[in-house]
Chains A and B, each alone.
Chain A
């Protein structure tokens, strides 16, 4: 099974090019899921980001993924989430996998929008919030059985390949670190021509300062508050 794992390096802030070392928990789960489903040589880690945004790929290689690709073009920087999804989708298309995995959300913007966006562009079946994934053979067909987390429930799903899953959790496994050179692709490599859209949405981002938790006078009041809020049953 050929798998592409979409990853995102974790940025320190919205205007910071500095990335934190390591993988977000959901991206890490996507990598571990891929390694449980296929041999390392059948898996490619893919990210979109400028030079210096390789932390997620390096971390994926440390867990055992061999091939890693970074997509970037200066054009992307001024574009919105849909353009980014289109570029990633073109990268996925070039690799032609049976399965695309990604973290349920990144550890910075945390929108969880890129995976579903790529699934739409590539017209792939989508399942979000996977916490268990198993490959099964049924006659000639290769299928996946997926446990999807829905609040208090797990939904057992069966889906055809190719497909895209966003992953929340995966069992731990021993790592066999890899260290191949990271490939870099631009829009020419992807033979992708994009029209300039109206750019990014009008969103301001500011530090969340001045917020403090609501002070409570002791644990019994906390329990009452949590019950009133429906957080404790």
Chain B
């Protein structure tokens, strides 16, 4: 594996923390496999070279080289229409074996199409695991040969019931992945990265044009950052508190199909198959069992907090956090805590 390319996403012309955390991941892989990390920085104008400039930051987070591509179309937010050709040009010049993006709405658009363009294997919403054969000398110690372990891309599938694993070392084709579940970024190297200028093709007539940006309506299920959902394990009087909880959290509320059959749900709030989906970062599941149909409404990046008095509920195998509490009691406590902070 010769080159690893990490796409750097900018927000207000600063590299996002998630992009820097992916650089950390790439550094770890490259150090084990003897590869070079290229941070790909598409931007409208070249960044300044001051003490804490972007290029020094990328270097300190693990880039051996910063591949700088500039052009008038490379403005925020990054779209395939504005950034696609520049990223493809960088891949053609650097010829990476592995292309990493931080999992984000932008990378959903950029990475998926790039994978087809490069004929690459595509692993979205993956985390990188360091398996037993990643370190030199382990094979001699009787541990698995390269290609049977080592760094793996791991992603959830089938409504979080399955894990798909793919070893990086044995990948025959280029791999394009978007990485989630990242640790906080940290400084891991000196700021001595080499800058490489990539010449991108001049942008053709744009077929997609940005007309404006505005805050997403946080009370709408699809757009909310936080969703609080109620299921059959929630008593009727507690279920009636869901809208208030959503307002207190600055998010939206939802319910399962079983709550709808109790006539406590609204048609435009039912999450799951034949209902609605959400791109929320956080789902507070109150009295939700975690049926296959219901979990189909959650995005792969959504973190679940499960609160259910049934300890055998499948939701506990899919959730990140589970406070020990009855759902109705937890809802009351949550509202009390949030009200107390005001």
Contacts and interface: CB of A to CB of B under 8 A. Distances in A.
Contacts of A104: 108, 277
A151 B216 CA distance: 8
A49 interface: no
A39 to B, nearest CB: 23
A70 B273 CA distance: 21
Nearest to B113: A116
Interface string A40-73: 0000000000000000000100000000000000
Contacts of A24: 273, 277, 296
B317 A214 contact: no
Chain B binding site: helix, strand, loop or mixed by DSSP?
A: mixed
B235 interface: no
Contacts of A154: 213-217, 223
Chain A binding site: helix, strand, loop or mixed by DSSP?
A: mixed
B207 A202 contact: no
Contacts of A160: 207-208
A129 to B, nearest CB: 6
B113 A126 contact: yes
Contacts of B166: 201-204
B127 interface: no
A168 B302 CA distance: 14
A198 B116 CA distance: 15
Contacts of A177: none
A28 to B, nearest CB: 7
**Residue of B164, B209, B220, B333 with most chain A CB atoms under a 10 A cut-off:** B164
Interface stretch (B27-35, B94-102, B322-330): B322-330
Interface stretch (A5-13, A90-98, A178-186): A5-13
A13 B173 CA distance: 26
B115 A117 contact: yes
A119 B162 contact: no
A206 B279 contact: no
Contacts of A231: 226, 281-282, 303
Nearest to A198: B172
B142 interface: no
Contact of B116 (A10, A59, A117, A207): A117
B323 A218 contact: yes
A215 interface: yes
B80 interface: yes
Contacts of A168: 222, 277, 279
B133 interface: no
Interface in A102-116: 104-105, 107-113, 115-116
Given A150-B77, A226-B282, A159 B317 contact: no
Given A159-B207, A202-B167, 18 more contacts: A12-B292, A14-B158, A24-B277, A110-B299, A111-B124, A115-B112, A125-B208, A128-B105, A131-B222, A151-B225, A152-B215, A169-B221, A205-B162, A207-B161, A208-B156, A208-B160, A211-B317, A220-B333
Interface of A: 10-14, 20-26, 28-29, 59, 80-82, 85, 104-105, 107-113, 115-117, 119-121, 125-129, 131, 145, 148-160, 163, 168-169, 172, 198, 201-209, 211-223, 225-226, 229, 231-233
Top 7 A-B pairs ranked by shortest CB distance? Answer: A25-B277, A169-B222, A213-B322, A116-B112, A213-B319, A125-B207, A117-B116
